[in-house]
Amino acid sequence: MESSKPSQIVKGVVEAAVEKVGDALTPDVPGAPGSAPPSLEEPTTPHGPLPPKDEQGAPDTRTPTGAETGVPKIAKGQQGAYLTTANGARLRDTDHSLKAGPRGPVLLQDHHLREKITHFDHERIPERVVHARGAGAHGTFVAYGTAEEVTRAGFLKKGRETPVFVRFSTVLGSRGSADTVRDTRGFATKFYTDEGTFDLVANNIPVFFIQDAIKFPDVIHAGKPHPDREIPQAQSAHDTFWDFVSLHTEAQHHTIWNMSDRGIPRSYRTMEGFGVHTFRLVDEAGATVLVKFHWKPKLGVHSLTWEEAQMIGGMDPDYHRRDLYDAIEAGAYPEWELGIQVFPDTPEETFAGIDLLDPTKIVPEELAPVQPIGKLTLNKTPTNYFAEVEQVAFHVGHLPPGIDVTNDPLMQGRLFSYVDTQLTRLGGPNFTQIPINRPHADVNDMLRDGFHQHAVHAGVAPYRPNSLDGGNPFPAGDREHAFVDTPVTVAEAPKVRASPASFDDHYSQVRLFWQSMSPVEKEHIIRAYTFELGKCYHQVIKERQLQCLANVDPVLCEQVATGLGLPVPQPTVPLAEVQPSPALSQVGREWPADGRMVGIVVDAQGDLGDVHEVRRAVFDAGMVPLLIAAHGGTVDGLPVQRTFATGRSVEFDAVLLAGAPAPAPDAVPARDAKAGAPGSATVDPRVLLLVEEAWRHAKVIGAWGAGAEVLHQAGVTGTPGVVTGAAGAEVLTEVQRLMAAHRVWERFPASVA
Ligand code: HEM
């Protein structure tokens, strides 16, 4: 995979920001809220709206029917220097209602008051039924041309560049829930192709809980908070979820993925994405193949530890959203390769004995390699969350010519569900005309009227055939890039409410997943099941799920049963002989560290000699250095981003100790619980806590000069992944090398093989 140039860009962004903002305290790390620094006094000289920040993008300015307008993006939201009504009349006061005298009642005639309050009263729209919590970004997709042989989709032709908008999400939580909960993540991509929009509405887990869409309300009702108390929020660790998945055993495959580290990603940037279903690709001649879509992150697949996920849920519930936007702002653009597994389109629709229409099954990459077909780069954050991330509407049925659906019964139900839910969520049938949803292809449909109609349709004949509008619009032939429904033969069969026998195996691939994990990943899975089932109230539900685990693997079952204090059941199905798939493990490889957060503890009273150089070197390596000191402001002219009181280890991917700061004046237990951490007379207790936590979460730690004393007092000197040296630069080089493996896995000795 080609690497980006984050270090140069990070440097460029920093220097540009320093120059633009001219404020030594804020510019060098991402996250400034506006495009210009605020003044201390309220500004009073009228001027136009400020431009968006450099890294912010917005939907193309298109007409509701897809034509380019050339209108600058900034002009769409607001313009002019003066406050106006929604109809453009200038206002001189928006701070006082119109009253009968300063102490009198408010007058009904105050149309400005009524307009302002009425609009405010209607600002909310229903959140998504599922995937309500999300973050989105703009970018581009460039095709390698390697899919040209199997599809006529124009955007997959070599070198073709297509604008995209991606929305990442959790499934279960409400819009304001925490990012780091254990859950599946959505990975939905809108490709604005010139042959019509293609939505790849994917997840970070390649299988799904159910085989038939008719079960979707059941699984979601089971996963959502209990209907009586409406708890717990955004998690599966409760009775109704485990009640359902232990009875509806086809859910067991998806569930073990959720219980693995895939359920708690480190970042959206370190997630794989999967189209889950098998799709059908069609070439120019009408020949077809079956494929599964995969997104492969440039940074590899990495996860949080469970303790980190829980701590971050409290400390920074917006962790993934912030990470995505900070990385883009820092120029460390997130990248993925899109790949396909290709299978012959046979009448059986199976491959290596696996039913390709069963969305609870994968095809191991060792059997069908993922072939890269293009690269996605996210390079702009949204200008307005509501307009873009909230109003975007994905749909599995948004398909360009060359990509078609299959008879997967889950996919078939989705083809109905998305438009249906969006009718309610977006308040009417015209949501494709909302700026973020506007296609980049000519639109000439015969859909008319409805709430919020933005198009001004000319003509008198929105029907076919017609002669009054000269016959327009005309059906397109194959040569005019028409979408063709592939004429797949449907076998003669009676109408039934039933699944094929090939959908009956609910355990062999769960076992395949388990056996493909490294020992440390297995430990995490055991702990996750033990935690989640431990949170259930009813014993029978735990026992029933243990029975499912007995059908997966005796060690897994026994370890979880021990944690729950329950007997170990015997399997009720024969344990399958499976061939592990190393591609499923996320341990054992090395990846770039773009956009990683490096905390640098400094002692304002100590030797700061190397700090400037190390900070710059961290930037140059494409990462973001955050200085941690006893107090805010600056240390030796460098801006402090975290204090001992505000910083916490979970924010950092690695910690560097440039000194051994003595307890600061606010290190008193009564002021800050963290200050009560085991301390010493010579080192601030919060610095010791930071090091202890970083160590426990298997992060790389580096120290030089007096910093070594902190390691000594924390009792971690000489342990794996703890680097010491005489000079900061030398320590950073080794820290960077170790960070490539993401964590110091040796610090988690496993008890299972
Ligand atoms: C392979 C299985 C599935 C995958 C990968 C998947 C993926 C997604 C994703 C990524 C989103 C969020 C889209 C966004 O960011 O706006 C979403 C939303 C949604 N999904 Fe699914 N989903 C699956 C199955 C289903 C099924 C079976 C149904 C119903 C029959 C369903 C109904 C919905 C609904 C109603 C939404 C909310 C859409 C909106 O309000 O705009 N999904 N799904």
Q: DSSP string covering 534-593, please?
A: HT-S-HHHHHHHHHHHHTT-HHHHHHHHHHHT-PPPPPSSPPPP----GGG--SS-----
Whole-number pLDDT of residue 674: 73
Atom number in ligand 1 closest to CA 168: 15
Find the 395 Cα to ligand 1 centroid distance in Å: 8
Annotated catalytic residue, options 96, 111, 122, 203: 203
Atom number in ligand 1 closest to CA 277: 1
Atom number in ligand 1 closest to CA 274: 5
- 112 catalytic per annotation: no
- 440 catalytic per annotation: no
Find the 205 Cα to ligand 1 centroid distance in Å: 13
Query: Are the beta carbons of 27 and 14 closer than 8 angstroms?
Result: yes
Whole-number pLDDT of residue 29: 82
Q: State residue 560 phi and psi, 5-degree precision.
A: -70, -40
Query: Are the beta carbons of 709 and 688 closer than 8 angstroms?
Result: no
Half-sphere exposure of 437 (CA within 13 A, CB side): 20
Whole-number pLDDT of residue 72: 83
Atom 23 (ligand 1): residue with closest C-alpha? 414
Atom 12 (ligand 1): residue with closest C-alpha? 131
Whole-number pLDDT of residue 668: 86
According to the annotation, is 425 in a ligand binding site? yes
Q: State residue 11 phi and psi, 5-degree precision.
A: -60, -45
- Beta sheet of 722-725, edge-to-edge order: 642-643, 624-629, 597-601, 654-657, 700-704, 722-725
**Residue that the structure tokens 């560097």 belong to:** 656
Among 130, 165, 424, 425, which is best to mutate for testing ligand 1, by the most ligand atoms less than 8 A from CB? 130
Atom 2 (ligand 1): residue with closest C-alpha? 208
According to the annotation, is 128 in a ligand binding site? yes
Q: Report the alpha-carbon distance of residue 428 to residue 446 in Å, rounded.
A: 16
Atom 15 (ligand 1): residue with closest C-alpha? 167
According to the annotation, is 438 in a ligand binding site? no
According to the annotation, is 414 in a ligand binding site? yes
Among 253, 414, 415, which is best to mutate for testing ligand 1, by the most ligand atoms less than 8 A from CB? 414
Neighbouring residues of 115: CB distance < 8 A, sequence distance ≥ 6:
85, 86
Question: Residues with beta carbon inside 6 Å of ligand 1?
Answer: 128-131, 134, 167, 169, 186, 188, 201-203, 208, 213, 216, 276-277, 359, 392-394, 410, 413-414, 417-418, 421-422, 425
According to the annotation, is 619 in a ligand binding site? no
Q: Would you state the structure tokens that stand for residue 58, as one six-digit string? A: 């917005």
Annotated catalytic residue, options 47, 111, 119, 131: 131
Atom 25 (ligand 1): residue with closest C-alpha? 414
Q: Report the alpha-carbon distance of residue 341 to residue 357 in Å, rounded.
A: 14
- Please name the amino acid found at residue 253: H
Cα 405–Cα 408–Cα 410 angle in degrees, nearest 5: 105
Whole-number pLDDT of residue 594: 87
Find the 155 Cα to ligand 1 centroid distance in Å: 24
Find the 13 Cα to ligand 1 centroid distance in Å: 36
Cα–chain-centroid distance for residue 320? 7
Find the 413 Cα to ligand 1 centroid distance in Å: 10
According to the annotation, is 167 in a ligand binding site? yes
Q: Report the alpha-carbon distance of residue 449 to residue 455 in Å, rounded.
A: 9
Atom number in ligand 1 closest to CA 136: 15
Atom number in ligand 1 closest to CA 393: 41
- Domains of the chain (ranges, CATH numbers): 134-433 (2.40.180.10), 502-564 (1.20.1370.20), 597-747 (3.40.50.880)
Find the 124 Cα to ligand 1 centroid distance in Å: 21
State pTM to two decimals: 0.94
Cα–chain-centroid distance for residue 514? 25
Identify the segments of the chain with pLDDT beneath 70: 1-28, 673, 676-679
Q: State residue 20 phi and psi, 5-degree precision.
A: -70, -45
* Strand, coil or helix: 140: strand
Whole-number pLDDT of residue 73: 78
Find the 128 Cα to ligand 1 centroid distance in Å: 9
Whole-number pLDDT of residue 571: 98
Q: Report the alpha-carbon distance of residue 716 to residue 722 in Å, rounded.
A: 7
* Strand, coil or helix: 425: helix
Atom number in ligand 1 closest to CA 169: 15
